[in-house]
Amino acid sequence: MRGVTRVGRAACAIATGLTMAGCGGGGGFGGAGVLTSSWGDPQNPLEPANTNEVQGGKVLDMVFRGLKKYDPRTGRAVNMLAERISTPDSRTFTVTVKDGWRFSNGEPVTARSFVDAWNYGASLRNNQKDAYFFGYIDGYDKVHPDSGRQSADTLSGLTVTGPRTFTVRLNQKFVGFPDTLGYAAYAPLPRVFFTDHAGWLRKPVGNGPYRIASYAKGSAMTLKKWNGYPGPDPARNEGVTLLVYTDSNTAYTDVLAGNLDLVDDVPATQLKNVRTDLDGRYINTPAGILQTLAFPYYDPKWNTEGARKVRTGLSMAIDRAQITETIFRRTRTPATDWTSPVLGTAGGFQDGLCGHACDYDPAGARRLIREGGGIPGGRLKITYNADTGSHKQWVDAVCNSINNALGDDKACVGNPVGTFADFRNQIGQHRMTGPFRAGWQMDYPLIQNFLQPLYYTGASSNDGRWSDARFDRLVDRANAETDRAASVRLFQEAEKVVRDNMAAIPLWYQNGSAGYTARLSRVTLNPFSVPVYNEIKVG
């Protein structure tokens, strides 16, 4: 492990440069038992309610534990800091926090740690990008109005009732609410977060199995096992060093050369070689991510009965099996519903719900598109952003598939937009004229999360402005239901409305993938495609 020590030494040089934190000791940086892992520079400051992408999420997952935690294998929400969450009516919840939990600086985790953190996350003045997570709590419209100044600093729905108990009152019935509490935005925060905010940002302090030893923005973060961690899932290694890579291909090459232990995003271009390159040290597990093609329903051309047939026809013109096999090397699975397999059937996933409409059937596709009056506007332009991910490849493949099915090699073309911001702007300003790329990564493993934000009338991520009264009614009823299973069934009914209208064309379920060196064992990915670092064994 010559290379590893060299990386270690380099990372250590930065660490000492910034914090003078322990880089001495035997065996170079961190000593034995520390693994190095690829990382991307987080796009936002590492506040829990301000982190909306996977790279920042990785750190939060190691440094924080919330009321609930999603089981890395099943995705089910299980109690972590919560001793009990009870509700008589699906609207008022009483939370009891377990005794004995502390932050790594010694401060006990209390009911107040949660309530303060949530009030901070919801408050407009703090610019937290995940603030909408608190939108179900009473008083959110006061601390985070859509326009104008906020008229309150704290959520009126949150009340501390004891050192370890607090109540949450929602502004509507939401039976799944406790299951959302595993998301990082709901993490507790220590007092120092509020008293020395800048200091906390330089080196966040949490209550998870790791503590941050040093953080060099833009290049590396070293996390050490926290020996005082009281939870049931302590780290099985001595620490993790996250190294920033600007290209996952480089990280992959470094794993091949033994300079890096774990790359958690194997580049698509290397997937053909990964099994031989790494001798089986490669994992590929489902994650709660669904890729779809969304449509602009604000464009009257797409909001007709004929267009519904065209959408179904287009869906049948896409050879999902071929594309996921050839382009993605099975790191995607052809989608047959509008949720994700990680929900499990009990959670609402229905394999094959889409039915024949998601099967490749060129003849059927031609017939439906002809019946529907042909592609609106004559040519199908699939809009995507060119700067992130390798969307060009699959968009080209989807277009080729449609072109082959329709027998016209110019029926469908990709329409790249230079930057993600521009792409989002064009979507926000309703300038789409045809289908556009839509990816959805679940916030929490609930069927509600795959449907309501995307298809409910006026919902935050309903980018195509799709609207259906029947769907809305079913969602309202499902949320008000006190029985979980009954609620899931109603959501499934709502999903059938989405299907019957082909509101969006489901493409494929995305997997997480990772490759690692022979030093590591027990490497797994959770349903959010983040490595379960605390389970990894080194050596």
Nearest-angstrom CA–CA distance, 117 and 253 = 40
Residue 460, C-beta contacts closer than 8 angstroms, at least 6 positions apart: 132, 453
Smallest gap from Cβ 529 to other proteins, in A, equals: 15
Find the shortest distance in angstroms from Cβ 256 to other proteins: 5
The reply to whether 84 sits near other proteins by the rule CB under 8 A is no
Q: How far is the CB of 393 from other proteins (least distance, A)?
A: 7
Q: Mark the segment that binds other proteins (CB under 8 A) among 334-342, 350-358, 400-408, 482-490.
A: 400-408
Q: Are 416 and 385 in contact (CB under 8 A)?
A: yes
Whether residue 62 contacts residue 208, with contact meaning beta carbons closer than 8 Å, is answered with: yes
Q: Specify the stretch interacting with other proteins by CB under 8 A; choose among 38-46, 231-239, 336-344, 471-479.
A: 38-46
Strands (DSSP E) along 98-176, which ranges? 158-160, 165-169
Q: Which of 172, 246, 304, 482 binds other proteins (CB under 8 A)?
A: 246
Stretches 64-72, 77-85, 93-101, 459-467: which one binds other proteins (CB under 8 A)? 459-467
Of 207-215, 217-225, 280-288, 512-520: span binding other proteins (CB under 8 A): 217-225
User: Are the CB atoms for 482 and 175 separated by under 8 Å?
Assistant: yes
144 binds other proteins (CB under 8 A): yes
Give 28-34's long-range contacts (Cβ < 8 A, gap of 24+).
29/5, 29/222, 29/241, 30/222, 30/224, 30/238, 30/239, 30/241, 31/238, 32/238, 32/538, 32/539, 33/237, 33/238, 33/239, 33/538, 33/539, 34/8, 34/237, 34/238, 34/239, 34/240, 34/241, 34/538
Q: Is residue 1 at the binding interface for other proteins, with CB under 8 A as the rule?
A: no
Q: How many residues bind other proteins (CB under 8 A)?
A: 90
Among 122, 158, 399, 498, binds other proteins (CB under 8 A): 399
Cβ within 8 Å of residue 384, ≥6 positions away: 391, 392, 395, 414, 415, 416, 417, 423, 436, 437
Q: Which stretch binds other proteins (CB under 8 A): 3-11, 222-230, 280-288, 468-476?
A: 3-11
CA terminus-to-terminus distance, the chain: 10
Contact 268, 328 (CB under 8 A): yes
Who's near 41: CB < 8 A, 6+ residues apart?
A: 55, 217, 218, 244
Pick from 20, 24, 147, 378 the residue near other proteins by CB under 8 A.
Answer: 147
| DSSP type of residue 25 | S
Q: Which residue lies nearer to other proteins by CB, 97 or 399?
A: 399
Which residues in 98-137 contact other proteins (CB under 8 A)? 124-125, 127-129, 131-132
DSSP states of 34-88 as a string?
EEEEEE---SS-S-GGG--SHHHHHHHHHH---SEEE-TTT--EEESSEEEEE-S
Q: Which amino acid is at 381?
A: K
Residue 257 binding other proteins, by CB under 8 A: yes
Among 36, 37, 259, 339, binds other proteins (CB under 8 A): 259
Asked if 377 contacts 434 with a C-beta cutoff of 8 angstroms, the reply is yes
Strand pairing report for 239-244 and 34-39: parallel
Judged by CB under 8 A, the residue of 71, 138, 396, 500 near other proteins is: 396
Closer Cβ to other proteins, 3 or 231, answer by number: 3
Measured from the CB atom, the residue of 13 and 192 that comes closer to other proteins is: 13
Stretches 22-30, 67-75, 100-108, 393-401: which one binds other proteins (CB under 8 A)? Answer: 393-401
Segment 303-332, which members bind other proteins (CB under 8 A)? 319, 322-323, 326-327
Among the residue ranges 152-160, 305-313, 352-360, 410-418, the one whose residues contact other proteins (CB under 8 A): 410-418
In the complex, minimum distance from the CB of residue 215 to other proteins, in angstroms, rounded to a whole number: 12
Nearer to other proteins, 145 or 162 (CB): 145
Q: Which of residues 429-448 bind other proteins (CB under 8 A)?
A: 438-441
52 lies in the binding site for other proteins (CB under 8 A): yes
Among 162, 163, 227, 272, binds other proteins (CB under 8 A): 272
